[in-house]
Structures are given as structure tokens and as C-alpha cells.
């Protein structure tokens, strides 16, 4: 443990997460699948109970006490999330997560035949498939490549962006390679050509300080369940002026100002984009997750993960036959994908599971990237604020055991 000097109070933090006390296959759980979803602290679990036990009601609809309390809590959570990424509360639209946030932009931005979208091969499917779905409307989708070091070939933007480019989209942090993309620079390139920039921040907002003003992006998508919050929570940030100009996503209650049998007019931001009864409980509880993260300190979390990743990369290099993907240690996110010899990642993950270690295996919803790397799957260890160097040691020991199991 002395291998890492964390500003986080690890003992206390680990105690806050009841699931970390679980045993898997008779061994203490080592949870290294945080890029898929994170575990929840007691404060978040309790906030969900408290909401349903004390406040459950629909929002924006009643004058009774419960309705007012639920509405206040829902809007307070929105303000917290807005402050967390340095946005205005009207610029935060609650969604089910990153996927829904990106699909909202796809639906509401008003793409027309002849428009072009520039994305990258390192994206999660949620930042590729929505755009591919627009191809049948005559919209071109172009891809920036990655190089052998797992970095974006940024110079390709010059060729790929044209005066027809309406949107440039990019992941802030790759969920496979851990690459941290220079989204501020990419937003600048997009703006220079009159295009907008959408950032998929599913793997950055939970792990490092993120400031939408500093990034200068137009849209940013995030998932609550990847930042200690409940599944089904998340948000889209969008610049106010753009959101005002955009068409609503879905039609129904909540998102209207007036309705006649002839026509409807739209509600103010952000409710214009939140049709129907929203995911009230989980969106409120996302605010409790933000509180927890802020208390720990986003800079501390980033430093902790940086050190942990550096340590992991150095220890993993001891394992013979292990191929590690992504940039060198240093400025990368807490995600390490690898393959051991020619063992299928699922088989490897199942040996690790026998040692109580949870890693993800497969294409991690990034098939174009795996195709580009010439592989079908990887195993992926991804870290968060509660992970320790001792858990990395366990991962390394288990990988060494896997070599024996597979007679490598
Ligand atoms: C980079 C990235 N983008 C988008 C997503 C999709 O997030 P969600 O499933 O929460 O919508 C993920 C989830 O793994 C991701 O890692």
C-alpha cells in the first residue's frame, strides 16, 4: 500500500462501499470493471431509500408538500451537476445516460441531407451508431484514425472537416485505450470550420475535473452510473443558445408551455427536452453521487487513478506474453486493456473471476477500434477511487496463475 501516496482516505472510502466487502469465488472481491459501471457508496444507496421512503412524488405537477419537495430535490440535483461541470442549470438535461444524451443531439440538432459528421474510430458504439443511422438520410460519417500508440491522428481533421461538417464528436477518454483526447483543441478545430463539437465524457467526468467552459465544447454527454450514481441517470450539457434553437427530443407532458388541438409551444430550458415523468429518483440521487465525488476531490481522484495506472502498467509488464493496448504510462485514464498470448479475453476473465477479480472482456462496445487494432476482444481492468495497489498485485498474481492454467 505504501507504493502509492494517495490524498484520498482509502480506508474510509473503501468502508463507504458495502459491496467491496463481498466475496466472489470465496475470495475478497477485487472490482476492476469501473469503466462499465461503478459501485455505489452507502450515501448514494441511502439517498435512494430516503427519496422513496420520504419524498416520492411526481415533479413540477403538484402543489402538495411531497410534490414540492420532490421538485426542489430534482432541481437542486440539476444545479449540483451544473456546478460540477461549470454549466448553467438550464444547460443540463437529465437523460438515462450518455447514450440517450447523444441520441438527443442526433434527433434534435436538425441534420439535413449533405451534412457531414466527423467522429473517431476509438469511440464507444454510442458515439458511432447514432451517426451511422443518419447515413440513410444522406449524411456522411467520417472517422479519424488512431495510431499505433493509441493516439488520435489529429492531423486528419484538416482533411476530414469540410464546410459541410455540422458536428465533430469525440470521446474525452477512450473506454478501451485510456487515451485522453485534447478535446479543447478538437473543439477549436471544429469551430474554426463552423462545426459544433460534442464530447462523450462518459469516462472523463467521473474521473477528473471537467469544465465545459474550459473545454469550449458545445455538447457534453455523461452517465450517472459511471460516477457512483444510479443506473438510468445521466445528462446532456448543451450551450443554452443551441438548445434554444433545437427541436424538442420527445413530445408529451412536461415539455410544453401550451397545447391546443392545433399546435403546441415548448417549455423553457431545460424542461423542453424532458418529456413525460422523468427518472426523478435516480436523477436526485445523482446529486448525492456528485456530493460524494466533490468531497473526495476530483483532483485527488485523478491523481490517485494516475498513480494507480502507472503502477498497474509497470507491474503488468512483468507478466510474460501480455500485450497492453493504449498510450504509454503518464497522461492516460485509469483504463488498461490487454490480452494474454492468444487466450480469448472471456477465458482469461473467467480465470480472474475464480480469484474474485472482476474485469470486463469482449469488444467493450468499440468494435471499430478492435477491428483497427486487428483483434476481436480484450480484457480490461479499469480503476476508480476505491481501488488500491494491493488489488493490482492480486490482478498480476492472477494473470501469472492464468499462464499456468493455459500452459503458456
Ligand atoms: C466512452 C463511453 N461512451 C459511452 C458509453 C455509454 O454509456 P451508457 O451505456 O451509460 O449510455 C460508455 C459506456 O461504457 C463509454 O465508456
Specify the ligand 1 atom closest to the Cα of 172. 1
Specify the ligand 1 atom closest to the Cα of 126. 4
As a whole number of angstroms, the distance between CA 388 and CA 3 comes to 10
> pLDDT truncated to tens, each residue of the chain (408 aa)?
445 668 899 999 999 999 999 999 899 999 999 999 999 999 999 999 999 999 999 998 889 999 999 999 999 999 999 999 999 999 999 999 999 999 999 999 999 999 999 999 999 999 999 999 999 999 999 999 999 999 999 999 999 999 999 999 999 999 999 999 999 999 999 999 999 999 999 999 999 999 999 999 999 999 999 999 999 999 999 999 999 999 999 999 999 999 999 999 999 999 999 999 999 999 999 999 999 999 999 999 999 999 999 999 999 999 999 999 999 877 899 999 999 999 999 999 999 999 999 999 999 999 999 999 999 999 999 999 999 999 999 999 999 999 999 999
Given 288, 290, 357, 365, which residue is catalytic? 365
Specify the ligand 1 atom closest to the Cα of 234. 10
45-295: CATH architecture = 3-Layer(aba) Sandwich (3.40)
pTM: 0.97
Beta-bridge mates of residue 234: 95, 223
For position 1, what pLDDT does the model report?
40
Top mutation candidate among 34, 97, 230 for ligand 1, by most atoms within 8 Å of CB: 97
| Residue ranges, CATH 3.40.640.10, the chain | 45-295
As a whole number of angstroms, the distance between CA 59 and CA 76 comes to 12
Residue with CA closest to ligand 1 atom 15:
202
Distance 124 CA to ligand 1 centre (A): 6
Q: Which residues line ligand 1 (CB under 6 A)?
A: 35-36, 97-99, 124, 126-127, 171, 175, 200, 202-203, 223, 365
Which single residue is written with the C-alpha cell 468502508? 15
Determine contact, residues 359/32, Cβ cutoff 8 Å. Answer: yes
Of residues 151, 209, 210, the one with CA closest to residue 199: 210
Of residues 248, 254, 316, the one with CA closest to residue 280: 254
365 a catalytic residue: yes
For position 4, what pLDDT does the model report?
63
For residues 36-49, one letter each, b for 16 or more C-beta atoms within 10 angstroms of the residue's C-beta and e for the rest, the string is ebbbbbeebbebbe
Residue with CA closest to ligand 1 atom 13:
36
Match domain 10-31+297-405 to its CATH number in 3.90.1150.10, 1.10.287.610, 3.40.50.970, 3.20.20.60: 3.90.1150.10
| Residue ranges, CATH 3.90.1150.10, the chain | 10-31+297-405
Amino acid at each position: 500500500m505504501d507504493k502509492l501516496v494517495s490524498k484520498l482516505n482509502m480506508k474510509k472510502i473503501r468502508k463507504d462501499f458495502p459491496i467491496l466487502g463481498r466475496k466472489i469465488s470465496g475470495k475478497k472481491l477485487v472490482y476492476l470493471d469501473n469503466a462499465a459501471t461503478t459501485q455505489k457508496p452507502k450515501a448514494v444507496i441511502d439517498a435512494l431509500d430516503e427519496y422513496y421512503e420520504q419524498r416520492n412524488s411526481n415533479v413540477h405537477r403538484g402543489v402538495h408538500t411531497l410534490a414540492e419537495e420532490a421538485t426542489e430535490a430534482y432541481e437542486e440535483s440539476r444545479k449540483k451537476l451544473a456546478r460540477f461541470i461549470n454549466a448553467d442549470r438550464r444547460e443540463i438535461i437529465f437523460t438515462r445516460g450518455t447514450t440517450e444524451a447523444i441520441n438527443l443531439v442526433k434527433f434534435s440538432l436538425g441534420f439535413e441531407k449533405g451534412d457531414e459528421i466527423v467522429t473517431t474510430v476509438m469511440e464507444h458504439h454510442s458515439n458511432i451508431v447514432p451517426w451511422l443511422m443518419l447515413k440513410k438520410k444522406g449524411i456522411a460519417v467520417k472517422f479519424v484514425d488512431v495510431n499505433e500508440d493509441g493516439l488520435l491522428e489529429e492531423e486528419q481533421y484538416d482533411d476530414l472537416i469540410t464546410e459541410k461538417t455540422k458536428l465533430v464528436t469525440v470521446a474525452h477518454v477512450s473506454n478501451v485505450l485510456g487515451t485522453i483526447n485534447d478535446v479543447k483543441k478538437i473543439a477549436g478545430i471544429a469551430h474554426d470550420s463552423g462545426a459544433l463539437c460534442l464530447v462523450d465524457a462518459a469516462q472523463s467526468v467521473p474521473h477528473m475535473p471537467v469544465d465545459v467552459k474550459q473545454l469550449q465544447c458545445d455538447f457534453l454527454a455523461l452517465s450517472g452510473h459511471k460516477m457512483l450514481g444510479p443506473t438510468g441517470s445521466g445528462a446532456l450539457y448543451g450551450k443554452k443558445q443551441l438548445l434554444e434553437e433545437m427541436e424538442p427530443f420527445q413530445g408529451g407532458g412536461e415539455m410544453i408551455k401550451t397545447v391546443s388541438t392545433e399546435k403546441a409551444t415548448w417549455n423553457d430550458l431545460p424542461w423542453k427536452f424532458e418529456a413525460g415523468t422523468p427518472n426523478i429518483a435516480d436523477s436526485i440521487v445523482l446529486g448525492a453521487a456528485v456530493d460524494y465525488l466533490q468531497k473526495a476531490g476530483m483532483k485527488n481522484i485523478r491523481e490517485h487513478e494516475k498513480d494507480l495506472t502507472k503502477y498497474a502498467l509497470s507491474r503488468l509488464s512483468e507478466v510474460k506474453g501480455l500485450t497492453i493496448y493504449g498510450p504509454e504510462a503518464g497522461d492516460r485514464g485509469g483504463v488498461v486493456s490487454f490480452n494474454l498470448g492468444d487466450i480469448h479475453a472471456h477465458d482469461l476473465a473467467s480465470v480472474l473471476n475464480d480469484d474474485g477479480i472482476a474485469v470486463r472482456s469482449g469488444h467493450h462496445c468499440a468494435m471499430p477500434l478492435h477491428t483497427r487494432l486487428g483483434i476481436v476482444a480484450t480484457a480490461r481492468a479499469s480503476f476508480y477511487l476505491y481501488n488500491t495497489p494491493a488489488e493490482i498485485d492480486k490482478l498480476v498474481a492472477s494473470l501469472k496463475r492464468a499462464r499456468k492454467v493455459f500452459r503458456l
